Amino acid sequence: MSLFKKIKQRLKYRADKKAFINAGGSIKLDHPIYDDFYKQAGTANGHYFHQDLLIAGFIHEAKPIRHMDVGSSIEGFVSHVASFRNIEIIDIRPLKITAHPQITFTQGNLMSLDSSLIEVCDSLSCLHALEHFGLGRYGDPIDPQGHIKGFSNLHKMLKPGGMRYISFPVGEKGVHFNAHRVFDPKEILGWSANKFSLERFDFVDDAGDLHKNIAIDQAPRSEYGCGIYTLKKLA
């Protein structure tokens, strides 16, 4: 931030404070926040904004019998879905008990699937989580094939004909240890390709803009985009 902008912010703060007091206001404590005046109202783009709203909308429209989620953002996606239906979530990290009646939590490691979770739901989501499996960032066991094992186990959780919504970073392929992996957009098609069909592909580019329902080959080149996949489990 330039010195000029810093000075401008502080002058505005002082002018606003003086105007507030002159208007009869009483101030208990100075707590200056200088830069909110110049910011936008919020952020309405990017990976999480688009994927969370898009997939929550798909689930609302599909009205599945049982929807489960693995590792997605609780403050974002899970809360969107819980506003209109029950959602059962699994994460490798613990979660304080929530009083929300439509959220159920189980702690678990999806690189090693419990037999009680095989073919239990007709709808499943895993948004911006698979890229972390096996890197140790969240206390998970180190496993270079963690994403493959996780993808296979997510598939096993679904009943035949069930829908799976999954997203992860796409662009210049590689492991950014221990933050995440970045995948080639078409790489997923080689993961147990005979067991699912790709129903839809959506993409968030490097600028944070959403490209709806496009062919994977039409995805703009990116360094760190987000591929959003709608998959159907074959019988």
Question: What is the pLDDT, as a whole number, of residue 192?
Answer: 82
Given pLDDT bands bounded at 50, 70 and 90, which one contains residue 127?
very high
Per-residue pLDDT at 1 exceeds 90:
no
Preceding omega of 178 cis (within 30 degrees of 0): yes
pLDDT digits (tens, 9 = 90+) for 61-92: 999 999 999 999 999 999 999 999 999 999 99
Question: What is the pLDDT, as a whole number, of residue 93?
Answer: 96
Across 158-211, the runs of DSSP E, i.e. the strands, are 158-171, 174-176, 180-182, 196-204, 210-211
**Parallel, antiparallel or unpaired: strands 174-176 and 158-171:** unpaired
pLDDT > 90 in the chain, percent: 89
For residue 229, what are its two tokens? 């996949």
Per-residue pLDDT at 193 exceeds 80:
no
- In angstroms, rounded to a whole number, what is the distance separating the alpha carbons of residues 224 and 183? 9
pLDDT digits (tens, 9 = 90+) for 200-224: 999 999 999 999 999 999 999 999 9
**Domains of the chain (ranges plus CATH)?**
3-38 (no CATH), 47-233 (3.40.50.150)
Given pLDDT bands bounded at 50, 70 and 90, which one contains residue 106?
very high
Mean pLDDT score, 181-196: 92
Question: What is the pLDDT, as a whole number, of residue 117?
Answer: 97
Q: Which of 118-122, 182-186, 217-221 has the lowest mean pLDDT?
A: 217-221
Given pLDDT bands bounded at 50, 70 and 90, which one contains residue 163?
very high
Across 44-171, the runs of DSSP E, i.e. the strands, are 67-70, 87-91, 103-107, 121-127, 158-171
Radius of gyration of the chain (CA): 22
Q: Rounded to whole angstroms, what are the CA distances from 144 to 111, 141, 156, 171? A: 11, 10, 20, 19
- In angstroms, rounded to a whole number, what is the distance separating the alpha carbons of residues 117 and 94? 19
| Whether the Cβ atoms of residue 228 and residue 213 lie closer than 8 Å to each other | no
- In angstroms, rounded to a whole number, what is the distance separating the alpha carbons of residues 178 and 161? 35
Mean pLDDT score, 177-195: 93
